[in-house]
Structure 1
Amino acid sequence: MSHLSRLRAQLQHQRRQLSIYQQQVTQTHVTHHLLRFSRFQSAQRVGLYLHAFGEVSTHRLIETCYQHHKEVYLPMINTMNQQLVWVKVSQHQYRNRRFSHHSLGMQEPMASRGQHVSILDLLIMPLLACDHWGTRIGMGGGFYDRTLASAKHRPFRLGLAHQFQYMQTDLPRSCWDQSLDALLTPDHFYRFKR
């Protein structure tokens, strides 16, 4: 097993061990910090994810977007090119859980097609680990990297993480990896230089 595979397994295990209370506290702190972030305040179209594997819960963030009259877009996998497309989801659709279950284990919007990531102003992304350069390690499917590599307009990329997912050491990086602009944890807001 490679170092990266071991790290992924360790962090996935750590995320799954978080209690509901710990998840709620993280979600509250992250939402509070995000409300003061100028990129969030000015964004009209916000891409988020539906948490499924112990990532920072996005429920409160999504509701906050609706309260602030922002358009919410959720990812759906395009099976033709294995990239993500973004589906605008109304508050009614979200609250009524109008989602389908994907074979990879997460839920996605029920739609026949979606928009390219370039239409988003702010993209809030899940991750397993992030280092001080903004290098993001995901679940290993490469969906976000493939999607962002084809973006003509680059939305601001904000990672959400529990504090233990921020690494002080350099993470392995491939030429196709798409780095983050910033990382938000319950305790800190990190900005990265391009």
Structure 2
Amino acid sequence: MPYDLNPLRKTLRQQRRALNEFQQRQAGQAILKRLIRIPEFQQAGKIGVYLHAFGEVHTQKIMQYCFARSKAVYLPMICSMNQRLVWVRISQHQYRSRRFARHPLGMKEPVQARGLHVSKLDLLIMPLLACDIYGTRIGMGGGFYDKTLASAPGKPVRLGLAHDFQCMPQALPREAWDQPLDALLTPRGFLRFKR
């Protein structure tokens, strides 16, 4: 019988949304401090990242750091034809002026028709609801990242960002189509996984 992840998803969504602005700012700062010491981030020229929308770890500091160091920042956009993500480069000006469209699922995405395949990125910074100590990532349930990464087995490096409570000490169920992470970064820790 398959494991029902819905109760876990619901609980973690509520916990994420209950975080106040100060807690989110602290988490973002702590994660950036750790992130800039990771070799894969230091060496990456093209970085895929997300715009936080549902209580995920805030990413504005990461993007500002990338812009300041001339790293190319790419945001996900859902391709309506195949429900996979493509990656659209944004400038610092676009980010500051908030020129984004709202997708029917609620997240903001770049207003542009074309994007890169995920394999063209050096590092992909991903949101998640839960991750276990083996790199199994549980997302919001749409499967967009899993479908997208299935066509890119080698590159990019897959880095999940999470609040500490989203790191599960027990193994989460992994389906054949689930795409594991290479590493997980939280305000208090950094884990590497064997894919």
Tell me the TM-score normalized by structure 1.
0.98
Which position in structure 1 is the counterpart of 2:86? 85
Equivalent positions of 1:80-119 (< 5 A) are: 80-119=81-120
Name the structure 1 match of 2:35. 34
> Stretches of 4+ moved more than 4 A in 1?
none
Q: Which runs of 5+ in 1 are unaligned?
A: none
Which segments of 5 or more consecutive residues in structure 2 lack a partner in the other structure? Answer: none
Partner of 1:52: 53
Tell me, what secondary structure is at the counterpart of 1:3? coil
Equivalent position SS for 1:84? strand
Deviations, residues 47-85 of structure 1 (Å, cap 9, x unaligned): 000000000000000001011110000000001000000
**What is the number of equivalent residue pairs in this alignment?**
193
Provide the residue aligned with 1:159 in structure 2. 160
Deviation of 1:154 after TM superposition, in Å, equals 1.7
Identity among equivalent pairs (%): 61
Q: CA deviation at 1:3?
A: 3.4
- Between the aligned partners of 1:93 and 1:19, the Cα distance in structure 2 is 26
RMSD: 0.9
Q: Deviations over 1:96-122 (max 9, x none)?
A: 111001110010000011110011000
Q: Quick check: 1:119–1:153 contact (8 Å CA) kept in 2?
A: no
Tell me the TM-score normalised to structure 2 length. Answer: 0.97
